[in-house]
Amino acid sequence: MTKLLSLNDFETPARRRLPRPLFGYISGGTETTAARADNHAVFSEYRLVPRVLRGVEGRSLMHPLFGHDWQAPFGIAPMGIVALMARDGDVAMARAAQAEGIPYVLSGSSLTPLERVREANPDGWFQAYLPGEDDRIRALIERVRKAGHETLVLTADTAVLANRENNIRSGFSTPLRVTPRLLWDFGLHPRWVFGTFLLGLMTHGMPHFENSFAERGAPIISQRAARDFGRKDHLNWEHVALIRDLWKGRLVIKGLLSPLDVAEARKLGCDGVILSNHGGRQLDYAISGVRALTVSREEAGSMALMVDGGIRRGTDVVKALALGADFVWVGRPMLYAAVAAGEAGVTKAIGILKRELHRDIGLLGLMSPGEVSGAVLEAAQLPC
């Protein structure tokens, strides 16, 4: 692991370890991949202005959110079917996040029962994909409540399945079709076949979507899985009002980009929003969450304004905070780290980002992430 110096370095070992369709599923974006590219491009548009000679000894990354003091202002974003990529991947990420004192969000399309992940991370959040059907909404919320979660994240940007051409090109599909090409690819990746897939099969049985709805979900290779995940097109703000009514814990809506939707979330009493274009995996050419920050700040009011997409460096975290974010989330690199080296890999990735941020805060002449403001940006780029 000595060659892993930055978050981007985890991609190559993950690519080597995984069959092509699985790596393609993680790395890909939709159509032209413009939305995914914008998530990275936006950061190079900003320059930082450090203050010097201020004495920055004893600075800290501690950062409050929802009444909890986290050990950094970033967390691990929800990602689906992780356990197919990395052995017991959801638990590995959950454990690493818990030990490092950062929040972790379990995906609603995960293959590990939420109750088991909850044991590994009692501070973890749960992300739900909900169909627009009241009974199923009620049942899932009850299950999440029983497991003891305090924060529920509702992902709102998947009304319709995205056009992920790259998945078709690389042979990834739901239901998963076992083709000669897929088997050949598996043959080229024996470490994944034996160390992740077969071991997972022997320990936990056939991979199922375990947390999609109230009951155990569909096996990943079944038609039913595809159908369940394709039926979210009638979810609307009235369902959010219902969820707000049923769910007494903290409610976060993920996948907003318009300040009008941020205002709607606030009106319905949500506790936070995550500005996100889903890692460039839903609507192509959707603006990056970071671009949506300044126009959303006022609409967010006292809600937590969070963002994800393309965050790879401490300076990316600083820029997002300077543009008005209260907290940020990291996706792909944490999954690559789990693929490359399990829980130890995720711990390493978190540590790298923490150290970068700690150094950057010091170089900016600040004592904590909470002190980051628009003043660290070049004057011409200050949010108005």
Q: What are the catalytic residues?
A: 278
Using CB under 6 A, pick the residue from 103, 310, 314, 324 that binds ligand FNR.
Answer: 310
Taking the complex as a whole, the smallest distance from the CB of residue 128 to ligand FNR amounts, in Å, to: 9
Alpha carbon separation from 290 to 63, 258, 324, 327 (Å, rounded): 19, 12, 9, 12
Buried b (16+ CB within 10 A) or exposed e, 251-261: bbbbbbbebeb
- Give the x/- contact pattern for ligand FNR in 247-286, rule: CB under 6 A: -------x---------------------x-xx-x-----
Does residue 176 contact residue 251 with C-beta atoms inside 8 Å?
no
- 93 annotated as ligand-binding: no
DSSP code per residue over 287-309: PPGGGGHHHHHHHHTTSEEEEES
Could you say whether residue 29 binds ligand FNR (CB under 6 A)? Answer: no
* 212 near ligand FNR, judged by CB under 6 A: no
Q: According to the annotation, is 310 in a ligand binding site?
A: yes
Of 72-80, 136-144, 197-205, 295-303, which part binds ligand FNR (CB under 6 A)? 72-80
Given a contact cutoff of 8 angstroms between Cβ atoms, the answer to whether 308 and 367 are in contact is no
> Which residues are within 8 A (CB) of 2 and not within 5 positions of it... i.e. 6 or more apart?
none
Hey, is 185 helix, strand or coil?
A: helix
For the residues of 132-157, what is the DSSP string, one character each? S-HHHHHHHHHHHHHHT-SEEEEE-S
Q: Smallest distance, Å, CB 365 to ligand FNR? A: 28
Q: How many residues bind ligand FNR (CB under 6 A)?
A: 25
List the x/- string, 314-353, binding to ligand FNR by CB under 6 A. ----------------xxx--x------------------
Residues near 68 by beta carbon (within 8 Å), at least 6 away in sequence: 103, 123
CA-based Rg of the chain, rounded to a whole angstrom?
20
Q: Is 204 annotated as a binding residue?
A: no
Q: Is 235 in the site for ligand FNR (CB under 6 A)?
A: no
Answer for the pair 290, 315: CB distance below 8 angstroms, yes or no: no
Instruction: Confirm if 121 and 147 have CB atoms less than 8 A apart.
Output: no
Which of 191-199, 232-240, 308-316, 369-377 is the region at the interface with ligand FNR (rule: CB under 6 A)?
Answer: 308-316
By CB under 6 A, name the one of 308, 316, 326, 343 that touches ligand FNR. 308
Q: Is 107 annotated for ligand binding?
A: yes
d(CA 212, CA 221): 15
Nearest-approach distance from CB 49 to ligand FNR, in angstroms:
26
Closer to ligand FNR by Cβ: residue 59 or 348 = 348
Residues contributing to the site for ligand FNR (CB under 6 A): 25-26, 39, 77-80, 107-109, 127, 155, 254, 276, 278-279, 281, 308-311, 330-332, 335
Q: Which residues carry a binding-site annotation for glyoxylate?
A: 25, 129, 164, 278, 281
